[in-house]
Amino acid sequence: MWALAGGTLLAAAGVTAWGVRGRSASLFGPSVWRGGRTRPLLALTFDDGPSEATPRVLELLARYGVPATFFQCGANAERLPRIAREVAAAGHEIGNHGYSHAALYLRSPGFIAREVGRAQSAIVGVTGRVPLYFRAPYGARWFGLNAVQRRLGLLGVMWTTLALDWKLPAGRIAARLLRGASNGAIFCLHDGREIRPDPDIGETLAALQSVIPQLAGRGYRFETVSGVLGRPSSPPV
């Protein structure tokens, strides 16, 4: 009996752990980690912004005519409203990345509701765009998120390839992205560092400078998350 009970607890713990971080998991709310595999589309996504470095990302994307999806922290959008609006004005898609970049796992449903709801309100108020997508800070979901996503109409978005661009040099970031490219892939990069001001994202920019033309040369086309999922994008408020 004790062995059976122990095995059941271990199995439940395993399922919960997978639900928290598993990229294909929807245990704690509807979620996707890639688009369809029939068309050569890729989505660049950027977390943790806006930051003082975001305009450099926008310049690079504009140079190559690449649309992207920016998962913004509500606190950063309020701190840098002009830059947050520049992202929207450039035609990029904006998603919800929580208000203060706080980890949601092991938190109460009330805390999760406040973090996600406050971010949604902040982003709408600053940018005039209603996020359709949510990416949990650190990619970690928890109990209570499902209800919040459904109330706000948010689809969770994980990733096909995590660039690890906050800690790797440009060459290794580029290698991860090139290796992870496939039809419908969603790449996770960063235009900020949590809610810290003036982050150094030089390695991210250098990697993208190399990767974007290489992937275009392979026949891939860049789209927003909505584009690779074949869903309509968010209209202005």
Catalytic residue among 92, 97, 101, 190: 190
Q: Cβ contacts of residue 68 below 8 Å, gap of 6+?
A: 43, 44, 45, 46, 57, 61, 92, 93, 222, 224
Q: Out of 47, 48, 165, 191, which one is annotated catalytic? A: 47
CA distance 227 to 108: 34
Is 47 a catalytic site residue?
A: yes
- Is 92 labeled as catalytic in the residue annotation? no
Token readout for 156 is 């969770």
Active site residues: 47, 190
